Amino acid sequence: MTANTKPRKPHILVCNDDGIEGPGLHALAASMKKLGMVTVVAPAEHQSGKSHAMTLGEPLRIRKYLKNNHFFGHTVSGTPVDCIKVALSHILDEKPDLIVSGINYGSNTAMNSLYSGTVAAAREGAIQKVPSLAFSLTTYENADFTYAAKFARQLAREVLRRGMPPDTILSANIPNVPEKEIRGILCTRQGRSRWEESAIERHDMYGNPYYWLAGSLQLHDDDIAEDEYAVRQNYVAVTPISCDMTDHRFRSELETWGLKSTFKK
């Protein structure tokens, strides 16, 4: 036997959407270091709500970020999806074995998943054929990432062992409670809860109006199979999110519309 038979440590790329200073990113990176070699590439600025946006028409900057005077990772002056693209094309020498995104401040359940930069970073990883996971903690206040970081490591280890199907990710939402209060792990689907929109109108010093987007989450989930409901019952909710957004059920119905003949009129 040669030294080469020793299993190579997995290489894990860590990203988020709260930006390089997000405590959830640091908790996730520290947890992943127990599994393998970690590279951090995160947005230079807060990028919540940026979904799968990429930066076109303006250049991106890559900078080194120090933590306690030691190199911690790279920042990219763009979105979470930009981070993944630039990491794979310019920062990493090899394709990583795994991409993990988070741990996000605030849940990415139900319709929130559509707006989430955390989920999108992982999805960009899947598009680039790297097994990818997203993690979110269900709170904006008094966040304790201890159990979430441990769970992330458990799920990451499982995915490194099993692999992932193409074009899909796992998005895990973890309740912000101590581990002993976690009731279990559920495989969930994206719930139906959504934001009731309102935009707050204010006026500037010239009397001109401006608007802040705001809203409140309207709960429509009442089934433990739905991620938003599951996390409210203190379950960890693991939802597989596909890169294929086709509504396959409606597609069958659409075939019956007879679009072709309708439009020949």
Matching residue, tokens 């990772």: 73
Determine the size of the site formed for a second copy (CB under 8 A): 80
Dist CA 11 CA 96 (whole Å): 5
Give the nearer residue to a second copy in terms of CB position, either 2 or 59.
59
Dist CA 140 CA 143 (whole Å): 7
Give the nearer residue to a second copy in terms of CB position, either 94 or 244.
244
- Dihedral of CA atoms 104, 110, 113, 116 in degrees, nearest 10, equals -50
Q: Tell me the closest approach of the beta carbon of residue 42 to a second copy, in angstroms.
A: 16
Give the nearer residue to a second copy in terms of CB position, either 1 or 59.
59
**H helix or E strand, kind and range, residue 42:** strand 37-43
Which 8-state DSSP code applies to residue 96?
-
Exactly one of 114, 160, 217, 224 binds a second copy (CB under 8 A); that residue is 114
Matching residue, tokens 């679009």: 259
Q: Please classify residue 6 by burial: count the beta carbons closer than 10 Å to its beta carbon, then call 0-12 exposed, 13-18 middle and 19+ buried.
A: exposed
Q: Please tell me whether residue 205 binds a second copy under the rule CB under 8 A.
A: no
Exactly one of 54, 177, 217, 219 binds a second copy (CB under 8 A); that residue is 54
Q: Please tell me whether residue 180 binds a second copy under the rule CB under 8 A.
A: no
Amino acid at 32: M
Of residues 141-170, those binding a second copy (CB under 8 A): 151, 154-155, 158, 162, 165, 167-168, 170
Site stretch for a second copy (CB under 8 A), options 4-12, 96-104, 135-143, 206-214:
206-214
Give the list of residues 6+ apart from residue 130 with CB closer than 8 angstroms, or none: 13, 88, 95, 96, 97, 98, 99
Of residues 240-259, those binding a second copy (CB under 8 A): 240-248, 250-251, 253-255, 257, 259
Matching residue, tokens 């209060």: 181
Give the nearer residue to a second copy in terms of CB position, either 6 or 265.
265
Q: Tell me the closest approach of the beta carbon of residue 99 to a second copy, in angstroms.
A: 14
Integer-rounded Cα radius of gyration of the chain = 20
Exactly one of 30, 53, 160, 177 binds a second copy (CB under 8 A); that residue is 53
Query: Is there a contact between 127 and 85 (Cβ–Cβ < 8 Å)?
Result: no
Exactly one of 46, 92, 219, 234 binds a second copy (CB under 8 A); that residue is 46
Q: Tell me the closest approach of the beta carbon of residue 142 to a second copy, in angstroms.
A: 21
Of residues 72-111, those binding a second copy (CB under 8 A): 79, 81-82, 85-86, 88-90, 111
Give the nearer residue to a second copy in terms of CB position, either 82 or 97.
82
